[in-house]
Every structure is written in C-alpha cells, then in structure tokens.
Chain A
Amino acid sequence: MVIEEAVNGRDDMLIDGQMGDQVLPSGFNPNFLKLYYGIPLLKLRFQSKLFPYGDIFRWMSYGNDGKHPACDKSYFGRRELSFTLENDIYLRFLSFNSVSELEKGIREKCPFKIDIGPVYSVDPSKRHAYAQSGENVFKPVERELIFDIDITDYDDVRYCCSGADVCLDCWPLMTAAIKVINTALRDDFGFRHILWVYSGRRGVHCWVCDGKARRLTNEQRAAIADYFRVYKGSENSKKKVSLTGHALHPFLVRSYTEVLKDLFEQTLLSSQQIFSTEDKCEKVLEMIPDESVAAELRGRWQKRSSCSKDDINAVRWEHLKHTLQSGRHKGQGLRRCVEEIVFSFSYPRLDMEVSKHMNHLLKAPFCVHPKTGKYTVHLSRVCVPIDPVHCHEFDPTTVPTLSQLLQELNSGGMGQEGDNDWDRTSLGESVRFFRSSFLEPLLKSCKEEMESAYNSKLQQSKNSMTW
C-alpha cells in the first residue's frame, strides 16, 4: 500500500512497520530504481539503500582507501564510470573521489545503467587539461581482465529460445562456459580473484581482479582471449570449429572431458533435441567434412526403422560417434570430428572485443537491468554474483528483481538506523557471498602486495642504464 502509493506520487506518507504483503506491479518502474539507489522519494521518510555503495567502493579501491603510506589516494578518482540515463543519454568519463561522492553522483542521476571502465593515468573527468601535452599522458593504466558471455551468441545452436530470452534448457551453456573459463583462469593462468556476475538478462560477466591481471597490456589480453577461442563463426562457413593437429591442447582436453562432453551428452542432446528433426540432423551432418560419411548417416536416419523407446537424440548420437570413431573411414578432417561437433554446440563463445582492450566499459555488478522482453516481462533483475563452484545450481529465473526486493523490504519491517537494507532482502545473500568469497580475500591480497612492494622499493638501487 504505502510504497505503491508513494511511487504513484502521493505526498506525506509515513511508513510504519506493518505493511502487509503487497503484490507490487512487475515490470519496470523508474521510481523503483530510485528506491534501489536510495534516492529520496517524494518527501518519503522511507529511504532504502539497496545498492551496496560501500562494497563497490572498497572493491574499486583495491586497498588504496587505507592508511598505509603506499596507498594512492588518487586511485579511486582515476577510475572511469559511465552512466546511461533514462532517455538513453550516455555520460562518459565520470569519476568520483570517495564513496560519498559516488553515492551522491548516482543519486543525482539515477542511472539506468552503470558501467565501469579502466583506471586512467589521470582523473578522466580532467582529461582535456592534459590533451595539450602532446605525449600520451591520458591513458588507461589498470583494468580488470574481463569476459562477456552472451547467450545470443549461441543462437545457431540453441533451439529452445532465441534472442534475449533465456530458460533453464539453454542456461546450462552459461554454466559450462563458467566452468571451462574459470578452471582455465585458475589452473592455467594462475589467477585467484575472479568474480562471475549474472549480466541481468542473458549472460554472464567475468571480472579477474588480481594485480597482475589489472596490469595486463592489450596485447596480453588479446593473447588470453585467443587462447580461449575455438569457435570461429561466420555466416559463410558451415563448420565453425576446426580442431586440427594430431592431438588436442591439454586445455581443450580438460574442457572436453570435465565439462563439455557430459554437457552435450547428458543435457543438450535432449534439452535441445539436437537430432529430432531432419533439419536439425542436417545441421550436424554439415559439420562432417566427408560427404560419404554424412550420406551414410543420413540414409540410416531417414529409414527411421527402430521404434525403440530410447531417446532418438541419444541413439543417433551413438550412431554418429560409432561411425566416425570406428576407424572405417579415414580422412584428414575426421580425426577430431566428434569433438568438433561437441565443441560447436557447447564450447564457450566469448565476445573477444570486450576482453582485448583496456578501455572497454562493462556493466557494474549489482546494477539493475531495466529492459523488458517482447512477450515475457523480464522483471528488472539485479546483476548478482554467481558462485562458480556451484554455478550449476544458479537459476537465472529466480534472480531477485527490483520489485521483489522492495516487496521484501516493505514487509520486512523497519530496520535499525545504519543497517544495510539489503540485509533484510534476498540481496543480502548475494552481498554476503560477494564479500566473503571475493572481496575479503581480494583486499587481503592487495594489502599484502602493497606492503611488500613498498618494502622492496625502499631497498631497490637505481637502474644504471646509459644511453
């Protein structure tokens, strides 16, 4: 009652404890956003603050908000943020010097989307002052290693949904992507502070925040992105995955055996009904470079003789594997054909451009995604972190929505002054997870790094390079 009236514009409403359950309208209401960011709503004493300003600030400071002499007070102020406002107005090169400035800035503008950019060499909002110097004075100096995986990039291999929609049948593709990439980032590259975030609608983002990740050059980022790249899709080529060589690289082997094979065989085959129709079968057969093999299988499937109760997809997959791996057919391209098919359907598809450049902006975690879908109403979901260890349990359809949170706040009663409001909602779980599994270890590590770098600098002698 109260909140509804409040958002509909009535004045002098007081909130008291008992509100009772309210079913708030779903769909996006800009006023909800205001409540989310703690913007005072029409003389309402009620003011919620769900967005975790403090945590974002601490994260982005990487320990520089402390008291140690090595702390760089300008660090947070050199980070670029960008806001997308209600009318698609886009504000870039924003920066804030403290958490209160950050809060103030967000409250003033109530952005529909907040993006985080790199840390520059100087305050980005003052970049023009340095433009005259000639040399490259304004440039990014640190930036997390980021990845963006979007389910629409898999549209050619998922049949359950398309476009912005996502369901539990195709979400496992994201789960697999998280597992493959996360394992590689840890085991192969040695990164430790990795944050996975639901992007709010149809994908996931990854933030690698180790010091050595933040200091990677564009070239190194591109190298990592290329290391992960397998799928080379385009409109023209039918076969988008080509695994040449007499063996697979250990990274691909591990991804296949630990994640992708099972995903394909246990989940995708049936959830996507990969061999259920002639068209779909043809799509797979096109990936076989040897036409005689394809023809053989095609012929076999056309007969449709067996009335077996077994799932047709599984059956046909067995046919295919058997034919290709039996050794009867020996061809250059057939060696890894089975793996190629599996990879085509399941291997992670990254947006390369996002990862390659330091100055690429990415949506901030804990933002709210304001868009709605065409036929189904996508409730403005919060971009919450995902636990990579338990990512198979993550359900995108149950991610807290804005209205849901406000609902919970409403019915939860008044908290104490100074309490974090998110604590009384389902967002609490996400924030606590963010802190315990990501933020605290990260900040601890930052502190250690800072101190040891400081100490070793004190002892270092000058470089004696002559001209």
Chain B
Amino acid sequence: MEIVRRPQLKSTAIDRGVPTLPLYRSAPSLEVRLEDFELYAIDRLRVLTGISDGLSRGKRPEEMEKLVAELWKANMRHPQASEVMNKDIISHFVLRLVYCRTYGLCALSLDYCCFHFLAYRVRILAHREDLRKWFLSMETALFRYRFRLQTAEAQRAVLAEFQLPYKAVTTSEFEVIKDKLTLVARSINQTLPTADAIFYKVPFQEVPELVAGRRVFLSDGYAYVAMNQVVSLVATQFRSLLSKALTLTNRKWMSTIREQEKDRLTPIVEALSTSYVGPDYSVGREFGEVSLKDIDNVAKSSFPLCMRHLFDKLREDHHLKHWGRMQLGLFLKVLLNSIGLFMEFIWNISKLPHPLTLAFTCYLSNPLMQQPMELGVGLKLDDALAFWKAEFSQKVGAERFDKEYAYSIRHNYGKEGKRVDYTPYSCQKIISLTPSVGDHHGCPYRHFSEENLRAALCKMGVNSGGVEDVMDKVRHKHYQLACTLTFEAIHGCPNDAGINHPNQYFSDSQKILKSKVKCLRISFLVTSVIDLEFPPISTVHSLHP
C-alpha cells in the first residue's frame, strides 16, 4: 500500500471479484491520501470500540449482530460506493500497524505534521495493556458478526477463500452418518438436518468450542459441522490468520517501517494507538476534523495581507525567521486564546483523545487582544497548574511535574523568563518593523514592490479597480487605509472603523462570513511562540493538496 501525495484513488478490489467480506490476507496496492489514512482508521476504531463496549455489556449474539450492522453502517460508509471496500481494507491495515505492539505504555507525541509552522511536543504517557490482544479479539468479533450477516452464498465464498482443510460432506457419506447427525441436532435442540443439508467435515482441532459442547458428531478425528456452526470455524481461522499476521507486522514495523515513516505515518500510528474513540465520544464532526483546507480557507478569506504573506511563506519555505514567527505566531495565539485552547485540547486528549483531530474553533468575540476570548475551559494560571498537576501526577509524579511541566505552563502565561507579556503586534508596530533579506514580516503595503503588491492583491481576490485604489493609498503612505480598502474590496462591504490591528481584520472578516461558516470553529494548538519548530519538508509536501 502506497501513501501518496496526490489525492488519487484507484479502486481495483471490486473489479477483481473479491468476496464482500475481505479476509485481509495481504495489503492491497492502493494509493491512499495521508488524511484518509488516519480518518479511515478512526472510523474503524469507532466500530471496534463499539463492539468492545457491547461485549462487555454482555449482549447476546443476536444483539451483537444488530449492533455490528449499525456500527458498520454508521461509520464505514463512503460517498463513493466503490470506495467502501477500500475503506474497509485500508482501515484494517492501518490499525494493524497501530495494534501490532503488545505492550501498552506509549509516549504519545503530539507532533502535528499538519501544523507545519509550529509544533509543540507534548508527552503524555498513555497506558494501554495488551494492544494486540484487544485488537485481535475485536477484529475477530467484527468478522464473526459480519459473517453471520452475509448471504449463504457469500459465506461459502469466504470459506473457499480461507482454503480451510475441510470438505463438504458427499451425499453418500451423508447417508451413512445421517442418523448420527440427527441425534446430535436433537441433543442440542437444533433443527434437524434435511436431505439437502450441507455439512462440512473438519479436523476436530479446528472447532474446539463445538467439540467441548458436544455439538458436533465426531468420527475418526473429523468433526461434522452444520452450516450454522460454520461461523465458529471461520472465526477461529480468521483469528489465527490475523494473529500470525500481527506478529509479522510487528517485526516489520519495528525493523523498517517505523523508522522509514517517522515523519509521516509513525506519528499518526503512535498517536492512534492511544486514542480512544468510543461510544462516549460525543464531540462529533461538527467540531471539524483534520482540515488543512480549513486553515487555508480561513487564511484566504480572513487573514490580512501581512499575515497571509507570512502564512504562505511559511508553507513554502517551512521556515520563518524570528520576527516573522513573532508576528504571525502572536497573531494566531491571541486570536484563539491559545493557552485556554491548549489546555482544552490537552484535556480533550486525556479524556477523549483524538490527538489528530484538529478541531478548529473560532470564537468570534472581542477582537481586541487585551481581552482574552472566553472558551469553554478558560483557566486561570493557578487553576491550570492545579489541573495539570492532578492529571500529570498520575502518570508522571508530582515532583517531576513541578520540574518539567509547571515551568512551561507558567511560561506560556508569561510568568516565567523575561516575563514579557507577548501581545500581538498592532498595525503600527508591524509597519515600524523593517524586514531585511530573507524576512517576510512587516507591512507588505509598505515594503512590497509595486509589482509584487499588485500580484498579491490579485491573489487575494481584489479586482483591478480595487487594486488601483489600494495602490493609490500606498503611494501616499496610507498603509492602514490601503489594508482597509483591501478588506472592503474582498468582502464587498465597508469597514468604517478602519483596520488598525491584524486580529481585528480577522474577526471583522469572520463576522461577515459568519453566516456561511457558522460552525467553523478553528482552534490552533498554539503556545509560546518561543517554542516554534518546523517540521521537515516531506511532511508538508504530503499534505499539500
């Protein structure tokens, strides 16, 4: 299976006439987007967790059958019918990577490849025992119930695929043992075998459960299994196949894949292994899933030119120099009341961790940075410290928390180090900054060449008439007015207050677009701008649409 950058999907599985229930014997040659890699896995994980939940509640087989049908329908569909099978197969193989390990203590490294302009490494120790055993049991259960839901014909196809060491009992054989088969059926209160009933002859070792319950006729080492008992047989086979495959996968993962993919898949895989996407996960899609598009869209629609420029440059170069980082980073930070969001995000991780769900939350309230925006969890520093200490201490110990983590949290609140309160730059400040070679900060209206500025304005969507107006203001060194005109041209409505702060531009823009993006909630995982890091090139490329 190849992970590629292009959002191209070829579906060949259906064409090959594979039975409707895949056995996952080998990884298919499909091209998968990195996004789908993760998304599909999460959907499947929801199904598996749902099954786990159902089993632990002691649901009966009939109830489980129903539950599985519902879970599958709810999570594993795809708008393109031809893609349904692919999603099934891909998600299974991704989870194989995730769950091929057996031990549980994972350091969850939130290394957001999506946030290519910043990443804050958070180490959370998550404990999950016997990953492999859990996965094996749930996948087997899933397979078992899906098998039960298949038609008889499809079931026969699956048996054939398994190449099980069994034979269908011939008519003559059947005649000889018919009485015994009838006795067995009567002894377990099952329907009596008719003349055309299909029985399979299997070595008794394959069906221990049936042997233990004396639910089959045994003769010379073979068990005679009725069609309705075949499920047990098949589930055992599936489990055994998968168990062997997991051992191989683990070996391969440890020896080659993990290292090879350390910038692309490995973080996703490692994060997924501690994610819990269970029935309690009530934070649904409305919070937004991974969407780099969302960042791009928001940047396109609501960032002022200065920030847009920085943003684009960052995506292009994967790097920003100090002032650029400051300017852009602070803009984002305050935009979204970063600390609170950071906390909320981490809190979500520990409770309902979907580490890579980038829930974009945009709070459209007071644009002025002086008043941090209210969030669901807006914690004051002391509260935050207490909360984190309580959480972390369970895993890390109170002492270590004080040493390693408390500092960072305090730093973010501006309580450590230089104790400067980092507030985002106003237009005035930005205009005053002078970029030199290799810099991209400052005010583009002041520092861009005419040519470049025209091009940038066009790119932003300003029509030619508007561009002329803007250029006029620029010549007269009225940079803020130029920005305001740009705003008006793009949004098609006046901005009487005038732009004097990038964050204001943003929130004004969002207000206007509000009706269209009602639930566009964008939250960035942003913390101290001091800690910005930039991921390597390949990651970004793979995300570039």
Contact = CB atoms under 8 A, between A and B. Distances in A.
B221 A246 contact: no
A255 to B, nearest CB: 12
Nearest to A230: B214
Interface string A78-99: 0000000000000000000000
A247 B212 CA distance: 17
Interface stretch (A168-176, A187-195, A371-379): A187-195
Nearest to B25: A465
A466 to B, nearest CB: 5
B403 to A, nearest CB: 31
A427 to B, nearest CB: 34
A249 interface: yes
Interface in A175-200: 187-191
B211 A224 contact: yes
A266 interface: no
A246 B184 CA distance: 10
Nearest to B26: A466
A305 B249 CA distance: 80
Contacts, number: 76
B248 interface: yes
Contact of B183 (A187, A249, A466): A249
B212 A222 contact: yes
Interface stretch (B140-148, B202-210, B356-364): B202-210
B216 to A, nearest CB: 9
A216 interface: yes
B432 interface: no
Interface in A229-264: 245-253
Contact of B221 (A190, A222, A466, A467): A190
Interface string B227-258: 00000000000000000110011001100010
Contact of B187 (A188, A219, A224, A247): A247
Interface in A188-230: 188-191, 212, 216, 219-220, 222-224, 226-227
B375 interface: no
B413 interface: no
Please indicate which of the listed interface residues B214, B219, B222 has the most CB atoms of chain A within 10 Å of its own CB: B214
Contacts of A224: 211-212
Contacts of A223: 208-209, 211-212
A227 to B, nearest CB: 5
Interface string B171-199: 00000000010011011110000000000
Nearest to A218: B208
Contacts of A246: 186-187, 189
Contact of A187 (B26, B219, B249): B219
B248 A247 contact: no
Contacts of A222: 208, 212
Contact of A250 (B25, B96, B180, B188): B180
A252 B96 CA distance: 45
A220 to B, nearest CB: 5
Nearest to A227: B211
Contact of B214 (A216, A249, A465): A249
A285 B204 CA distance: 38
A336 B220 CA distance: 28
B217 interface: yes
Contacts of B125: none
B218 interface: yes
Nearest to B246: A467
B187 A245 contact: yes
A212 B249 contact: no
A212 B203 CA distance: 11
A220 B208 CA distance: 6
B249 A219 contact: no
Interface residues of B, number: 32
Contacts of A466: 26-27
Nearest to A466: B26
B213 interface: yes
Contact of B218 (A251, A253, A465): A251
B214 A251 contact: yes
A276 B222 CA distance: 45
A190 B187 contact: no
A212, A247, A248: residue with the most chain B Cβ atoms closer than 10 Å? A247
A448 B188 CA distance: 40
B222 A226 contact: no
B187 A249 contact: yes
A225 to B, nearest CB: 8
Contact of B27 (A191, A253, A467): A467
B212 A227 contact: yes
Contacts of A188: 204, 218-221
B339 to A, nearest CB: 42
A245 B186 contact: yes
A248 B252 contact: no
Contacts of B217: 250
A465 B26 CA distance: 6
Interface string B316-333: 000000000000000000
B322 to A, nearest CB: 44
A190 B222 contact: yes
Contacts of A464: 26
Among B183, B188, B245, B249, the one with the most A-chain Cβ atoms within 10 Å of its Cβ is B183
A67 B249 CA distance: 38
A248 B186 CA distance: 8
Contacts of A465: 25-26, 244-245, 248
A266 B358 CA distance: 81
B214 A190 contact: no
Nearest to A464: B26
A108 to B, nearest CB: 40
B250 to A, nearest CB: 9
B214 A467 contact: no
A226 B220 contact: no
Contacts of A249: 183-184, 187, 214
Nearest to B186: A247
Contacts of A212: 205, 221
Q: Which 3 A-B pairs have the closest CB atoms?
A: A190-B221, A223-B208, A226-B212
Interface of B: 25-27, 96, 180, 183-184, 186-189, 204-205, 208-209, 211-214, 217-222, 244-245, 248-249, 252-253, 257
17 contacts: A188-B218, A188-B221, A190-B221, A190-B222, A219-B208, A227-B212, A227-B214, A245-B189, A246-B187, A249-B184, A249-B187, A250-B180, A250-B183, A250-B184, A465-B25, A465-B248, A466-B27
Given A220-B205, A226-B211, A247-B183, 18 more contacts: A188-B204, A188-B219, A189-B204, A189-B218, A189-B221, A212-B205, A219-B208, A222-B208, A222-B212, A223-B208, A226-B213, A227-B211, A245-B189, A248-B187, A465-B25, A467-B96, A467-B245, A467-B252
